[in-house]
Amino acid sequence: MRNRIKDLREDHDLTQQKVADAIGITQRKYSYIETGVQPLVDEIIVKLADLYDVSTDYILMRTSNPKRYK
């Protein structure tokens, strides 16, 4: 899961600071989430899915299809 959010960030050419700003947390907290030091909670999963326009299941690695459900 941590690799997926890092891959998404890098695929979108974003820094940790830009993602953190976009989802309303500090860069340090985002770094901890990305590296697995801090757990990825529901609220952050939803914000990341919205930011990258992917499904929460894609963030959670339950699917390899990034498309959102209708």
State the angle between helix axes of 2-11 and 42-52 in degrees (0 to 180), rounded to the nearest 10: 30
Measured over the CA atoms of residue 22, residue 24, residue 21 and residue 12, the dihedral's sign is negative
Task: State the greatest distance between any 2 C-alpha atoms of the chain, in Å, as a whole number.
Answer: 34
How far from chain centre, in Å, is Cα 18?
12
Give the separation between CA 62 and CA 49, rounded to whole angstroms: 13
Q: Domains, the chain, ranges and CATH?
A: 2-59 (1.10.260.40)
Q: What is the pLDDT of residue 69?
A: 76
pLDDT of residue 68: 83
pTM: 0.90
Those residues of the chain that have pLDDT short of 50 are none
